[in-house]
Amino acid sequence: MEPFDYDLFVIGAGSGGVRACRIAASLGARVAVAEERYFGGTCVNVGCVPKKLFSYAAHYFDDFEDSKGFGWSFDNLRFDWSVLKANKDIEINRLNGIYKSLLDSNKVAIFEARARISGPNEVQVEGKKVTAKHILVAVGGWPWTPEFPGSELTVSSNDVFAMDQLPAEIAVMGGGYIAVEFASIFSRLGCKTSLIYRGDQLLRGFDEDIRKFITTEIGTHVDLYLESDISEIQRKNNKLDVLFKLGSTLSCDMVLAATGRLPLTDDLGLETVGVELAKNGAIKVNEHFQTAEPSIYAVGDVIDRVALTPVALAEGQIVARALFSDDEKPMDYRNIATAVFCHPNIGTVGLSEQAAVEAGFEIDVYESVFRPLKHTLSGRDEKSMIKLIVDRESDRVIGLHLVAADAGEIVQGLSVAINCGATKADFDRTIGIHPTLAEEFVTMRTKRGIS
């Protein structure tokens, strides 16, 4: 008889958890998963996927506006949030079903309940003890809001996906991914939108020139309150008053707090085992995603390394392969491409100029700010920006940044070249596709300056 009920028990059926289940099961492991909320986790339910659907809706506004300069005209243009919300819900339900059927078809046992760890090889779920040779914690994260008077009046990004009506006036608090994406989305869907950020440029951690550029671009459609701290929010009849520390007040219908996310490690029974947590509750793991309790592993947002779906997928896959096959390939966190779906989009891979200098590289910088061809007729006053960071010694492109429509689509392709070690000379000998915005990547010849 097998000493354990399962070879792998996964807690959390989000991106990382489901990927680990599927790979482990395909390698012959007996796998179970517990999920108390929704299949597909944050990404599918209250993250990337519904946000991108909202983002498509927001881009139609730009498209309708831009089309006028190309000869189109139309009357009675209106947007109906209830249609978007209903169609989004149908699609998300469909995806939930797909995630669940993927588990079923891989013969993964499913517990639709909360699981708590009660020992190095056991969990309590649905009122009973279940044992497993390995346990994988992939429970993700949850929106976090700082506490201040009236902070309970804010909503989180989770709430936005369930909202029945669009507010006429919204204030978004924060300057990270979620804040800038939703600020652009709300403004294009017709809400008067304010973005309140404590720093002087949005998107800390991104290249400083890109931050400056996108802050200006977002400022064209969103009311920006930079270097602004909220002291209090008060309910005033049907409105909310946002009080700033410096004394002024902003009135709106809703405040979205997009002030970060925290690992969801409370009430998981982790105190019963040797798993160690960081200060913010993140599970500490080694390079094999193994916790201080050797039979317990963790991947995804709960380890707070890089909170991106494709990273969680890769981590889950690495754990499953390492446990149930000879493949022990380590995770490579270098050159992870990412996109921010604000207007215009940002796509980036590799190092910012500041990170490159800090890492000791001697660099050359190529930079271009230009008006895309489309906007010569659309009349839109939107610019694009391209920036390449090149290691002078090896000529390799070690950072690539783009602010433009569909930047994520463009940078995904270029990230392959960066991961292959493409040099500036490789970019230069590549023939462009004319006329495209991305051809600028292969035509930049003038160095911006020497760091």
Q: Does 361 bind ligand NDP (CB under 6 A)?
A: no
Q: What minimum distance in Å lies between the beta carbon of 32 and ligand NDP?
A: 28
Residues of span 231-270 touching ligand NDP by CB under 6 A? 258-261
Q: What minimum distance in Å lies between the beta carbon of 228 and ligand NDP?
A: 9
Q: Which residue from 46, 48, 37 is spatially nearest to 12, judged by alpha carbons?
A: 37
For residues 329 and 321, the answer to whether their CB atoms sit within 8 Å is yes
- Considering only 174, 347, 350, 399, the residue that binds ligand NDP (CB under 6 A) is 174
Q: Does 310 bind ligand NDP (CB under 6 A)?
A: no
Q: Does 14 bind ligand NDP (CB under 6 A)?
A: no
Residues of span 32-71 touching ligand NDP by CB under 6 A? none
The residue sitting closest to ligand NDP, measured at its beta carbon, is: 176
Q: Which stretch binds ligand NDP (CB under 6 A): 3-11, 110-118, 170-178, 411-419?
A: 170-178
Q: What minimum distance in Å lies between the beta carbon of 43 and ligand NDP?
A: 9
- Considering only 61, 324, 341, 427, the residue that binds ligand NDP (CB under 6 A) is 341
Q: Does 17 bind ligand NDP (CB under 6 A)?
A: no
- Considering only 125, 224, 273, 307, the residue that binds ligand NDP (CB under 6 A) is 307
Q: Which residue from 76, 128, 132, 118 is spatially nearest to 272, judged by alpha carbons?
A: 118
Mask: binding to ligand NDP, 188-217, rule CB under 6 A, as x and -?
---------xxx----x-------------
Binning the chain into helix, strand and coil, the percentages to the nearest 5 are 35, 25, 40
CA distance 448 to 330: 37
- Residue 334 dihedral angles phi and psi, to the nearest 5°: -80, 150
For residues 13 and 99, the answer to whether their CB atoms sit within 8 Å is yes
Q: Does 413 bind ligand NDP (CB under 6 A)?
A: no
The SS3 assignment for 248 reads coil
Structure tokens at 306: 């890089």
* C-beta of 119 vs 260, nearer to ligand NDP: 260
The DSSP annotation for 378-400 comes to H-----EEEEEEEETTT-BEEEE
Q: What minimum distance in Å lies between the beta carbon of 159 and ligand NDP?
A: 13
Q: Does 345 bind ligand NDP (CB under 6 A)?
A: no
Catalytic sites, residue numbers: 434
Half-sphere exposure of 81 (CA within 13 A, CB side): 15
For residues 203 and 352, the answer to whether their CB atoms sit within 8 Å is no
* C-beta of 55 vs 378, nearer to ligand NDP: 55
For residues 383 and 369, the answer to whether their CB atoms sit within 8 Å is yes
Q: What minimum distance in Å lies between the beta carbon of 210 and ligand NDP?
A: 14
* C-beta of 343 vs 424, nearer to ligand NDP: 343
Structure tokens at 193: 């939108």
Mask: binding to ligand NDP, 130-149, rule CB under 6 A, as x and -?
----------------x---
Q: Which residue from 418, 432, 303 is spatially nearest to 356, judged by alpha carbons?
A: 418
CA distance 14 to 22: 12
Q: What does each C-alpha distance from 387 to 89, 346, 402 come to in angstroms?
A: 38, 11, 7
Residues making contact with ligand NDP (CB under 6 A) = 146, 174-179, 181, 197-199, 204, 258-261, 307-308, 338-341
